[in-house]
A and B are shown apart, each in its own frame.
Chain A
Amino acid sequence: MLSRQLTQRLVFAFITLTAVTTVLPIVLVVGYIAWLGAPAISWEFLTAIPFNGMKEGGIWPAIVGTLYLTLGTGLIAVPLGVAAAVYLSEYAKDNRLTRTVRIAIINLAGIPSVVYGLFGLGLFVLFLQFGTSILAGCLTLSIMTLPVIISTAEEALRAVPQSFRVVSISLGGTKWQTIWRVVLPQALPGILTGVILGLERAAGETAPILFTAATFFLPRLPHSVFDETMALPYHLFVISTQVPGMPIRVQYGTALVLLAFVLSMNVIATVIRSRARARRQW
């Protein structure tokens, strides 16, 4: 029989090893793509329109498309999500209705992204006749992003100490004045972190825009919200599976641009969070 201390040492070593094995591939994946993708990156690659069956030129329309989709999603999902979070944290009573809302949010978070794509196709593209468009894509991505924004924003709002609210109300502020002038500003960094993490997911998703917004190839930039658009994730999917003879360099380059786009959002969110934590006075 092993002594308890020895068992502990063995188990801890094993768990540490497992944790490292789990996390190491993440570093490898990012490093691998950066290493093989970097040679493809040039000013032309980032800013030119693709030509010659997308084998030459750049990925500018895809970059712009992803920017449009991400910003559009933010425009719709942020006000909705933050308002819903304010409702849950400041107004909702603990009753059956509130619980139903919470269960609905949990379910929204769990619905597979491709099912969002089907839903967007059914409602926005066909029923409301927006067609395959930036608008339909943004609406679909917004509903998908909503649960992330709601839950992180609610957490940020709840973290604001009750005493802040009490003081504001006792000075004669109404409930809304308290929320608008005291609670929301205090919770802002937390909300921002959640918003960015939510939009990061939207920016990287392919399945929801597959039938709602994305197009194989567009020799120009989209003109209006009713236009189809290229997008980085869909572009990577297309050039790595649908276009024979696509130079591997271009594929890695596209993957790197998408990764950089998404990871920089991640880094911004992390920085905002840690700075807010350091500066917090409560």
Chain B
Amino acid sequence: MKPKRNWLELIVESLIRATGYSAILFVALILIFLLREGLPALAEVKLGDLFSARWYPIEEHFGLLPLIGGSLIVTLGAALIAVPFGLATAIFIAEIAPRWAREVLKPLVEILGGLPSVVLGFLGMVALAPFLRTTLNTPTGLTAFTGSLLLAGMALPTLVSVAEDALDAVPKGYRDAALALGATKWQTIWRVTVPAARSGVLTAIMLGIGRAIGETMTVMMVTGNAARLPVTLNSFFLPVRTMTATIAAEMGEVANGSVHYHVLFTIGIVLFLISFIVNLAASAVVFQQRKRAERLLS
């Protein structure tokens, strides 16, 4: 009986180990297939053309700059909105709110996280865009700004919950010490708790922005999808076209294996690299923080 048990043990353990490692396999697979389908574009399109300012696939103009610019401006706008609102909400939930308010707010933020992006995009299209068009008096409501507003909403749940966790993890002793020295509650929050949680807060901001730059359906539905380089300040109130929206809108209509098809995968590679860098940086911060915490505790 005993050897049998050991065999089972061994099999189960190796299965579990294999699934544990599978995450690495999946990341590798994703990268491999993006490269496999996307790299041929570099042979088919001149590098100079990829970095031109004209995206017009029908005439074989594959300039990625307007799309990268579109993604950047929409994400920048989203960050400018989401960071202050998100941090204020996180501070409120973690430090200021009475217990009952916390019990109401946290599930609400979670609901926002669960809202399908296509539902937000739909509402943006039929309700927010017409409203913004009349209030801002712009020719169209489908602009980078509309996209930023909604993307901020999509980035908020990540930002709030990660930042709130970071604030929560600050040892109570820190706050008690500051309060005992005569600091007010706000001085304690601003000068002790938030600085102590800064790496977690930074992670929250990075992950939130990462979320925003990768969002697809919402931006595709509300930003108007005009591929033009956003160079002037009023670009915020003009239609733009992001990398994600371009893939989503055009992949269904291209022939498999065509130049256009390969270029769309190249955009996928760019997006993959951006999210890879953002998340690597975010996890580096987390690991560093853990090491420092271990040093402090030892």
Residues of chain A at the chain B interface (Cβ within 8 Å): 4-5, 7-8, 11-12, 14-16, 18-19, 21-23, 25-27, 29-30, 32-33, 80, 83-84, 86-88, 91-92, 97, 99-119, 121-123, 126-127, 143, 146-147, 150, 174-176, 197, 200-201, 203-207, 210-211, 233-234, 236-237, 240-241, 248, 251, 255, 258-259, 262-263, 265-266, 270
Contacts and interface: CB of A to CB of B under 8 A. Distances in A.
Contacts of A258: 116, 118-119
A240 B222 CA distance: 12
B274 to A, nearest CB: 9
A23 B89 contact: yes
Contacts of B21: 97, 101
A262 B217 contact: no
B138 interface: no
Interface string B9-24: 1001101110111111
A108 to B, nearest CB: 6
Contacts of A16: 92, 96-97
A236 B119 CA distance: 8
20 contacts: A15-B88, A22-B85, A23-B109, A33-B119, A87-B19, A109-B279, A110-B210, A112-B213, A112-B271, A114-B216, A115-B275, A118-B37, A122-B36, A143-B30, A203-B116, A204-B115, A207-B244, A210-B252, A236-B118, A241-B125
A262 B116 CA distance: 8
A8 B186 contact: yes
Contacts of B127: 32
Contacts of A21: 85
A4 B187 contact: yes
A112 B216 contact: yes
A132 to B, nearest CB: 10
B80 interface: no
Contacts of A251: 122, 126
Chief secondary structure at chain A's binding surface: helix
Nearest to B221: A241
Contacts of A19: 88-89, 92-93, 97, 105
A112 B115 contact: no
B186 A150 contact: no
Interface string B263-293: 0110010011001101110110001000000
- Interchain residue pairs A-B with the least CB separation, the first 8: A112-B214, A204-B116, A87-B20, A122-B33, A19-B92, A18-B88, A8-B186, A83-B19
Interface of B: 5, 8-9, 12-13, 15-17, 19-24, 26-27, 29-30, 33-34, 36-37, 84-86, 88-89, 91-93, 96-97, 105, 107-112, 114-123, 125-127, 153, 156, 160, 184-187, 207, 210-211, 213-217, 221, 244, 247-248, 251-252, 256, 264-265, 268, 271-272, 275-276, 278-280, 282-283, 287
A174 B9 contact: yes
B24 A104 contact: yes
B42 to A, nearest CB: 16
A270 B278 contact: no
A18 B84 CA distance: 9
A230 to B, nearest CB: 14
Contacts of B107: 270
A175 B23 contact: no
A199 to B, nearest CB: 11
Nearest to A118: B268
Contacts of B213: 112
A26 B115 CA distance: 9
A206 B23 contact: no
Residue of B20, B34, B125, B271 ringed by the most chain A CB atoms within 10 A: B20
A266 B19 contact: no
Contacts of A91: 13, 16-17, 20
Nearest to A25: B153
Contacts of B97: 16, 19
B119 A114 contact: no
A201 to B, nearest CB: 7
Contact of A115 (B89, B119, B186, B214): B214
A83 B85 CA distance: 37
